Amino acid sequence: MAEIRLEKVTRRYERINAVASVSMTVRDGELLSLLGPSGCGKTTLLRLIAGFEQVNEGRIVIGSRTVSSRDSHVEAEKRNVGVVFQTYALWPHMTVAGNVGYPLKVAGVDKTQRRKRIDEALDTVGLSGMGKRRPADLSGGQRQRVPWPGVWS
C-alpha cells in the first residue's frame, strides 16, 4: 500500500458540501476507520479516494501521484484502490471468481495471472474454495467480503 494524502479536499453537490476541506494522511501500512453519523461524508470520502468521484477543490495524492484535483482525475481502475461497500454490488449471474476477476479481465490481465490474483484475493478474505459459487449461495457476511474491484498487488 502507498501513503494516501488528502489536502483540503472538498466535494459539493450543487450547494451542499458533502465533504468540506478535509485534510489527512494515511501512512503506508496504517489502518484507518471513518466513524460518524449518517450523511456526514464518510462514503463520499471513500468514493473520492477510490476515484468514483472527482474533487471540486483540493487534491488527493496516492504515493507521489496526484490522482484527483480540480483539473485532473485518474480513473478508478488505474488507482489500485479497493473499496468494500456496506451494501455489496455483485453481479448475480457471475460466480464469485467472475465478480472478482471481471475488472482484471477488462484491464487485459492474462488468464493465468488473473486466476492467481483471484485465488490470492479470495484467500486473503477467507473465501478460499468459494470462487465457483454464485452470490446467492453466500451468506451476507461472505458477500460483503467478496473483493472488489479485484485489483490486488
Residue-range domains of the chain with CATH: 4-78 (3.40.50.300), 96-145 (no CATH)
131 in Cβ contact with 139 (< 8 Å)? no
Give buried/exposed letters for 51-84 (b at 16+ CB in 10 A, else e): bebbbbbbbbbbeeebbbbeeeebebeebebeee
Q: What type of residue is 93? A: H
Q: Where are the alpha helices (DSSP H) in 26-135?
A: 42-50, 96-106, 111-124
Strands ordered across the beta sheet of 57-62 = 16-26, 4-13, 57-62, 65-69
- The residues, any chain, with a CB within 8 Å of residue 3's CB and separated by 6 or more, are 25, 26, 27, 28, 61, 62, 63
Q: What is the pTM of this model?
A: 0.60
Residues 28-65 have pLDDT tens digits of 989 888 888 878 898 899 989 999 999 999 999 999 99
Whether 15 shows a pLDDT value over 70: the answer reads yes
CA atoms within 13 A on the CB side of 117: 21
Whether 150 shows a pLDDT value over 70: the answer reads no
| Predicted pLDDT of residue 90 | 86
Residues 104-126 have pLDDT tens digits of 888 899 999 999 999 999 999 89
Show the beta-strand stretches assigned E in 34-98: 57-62, 65-69
**In the structure grid, which three cell numbers stand for residue 130, read together?**
468459494
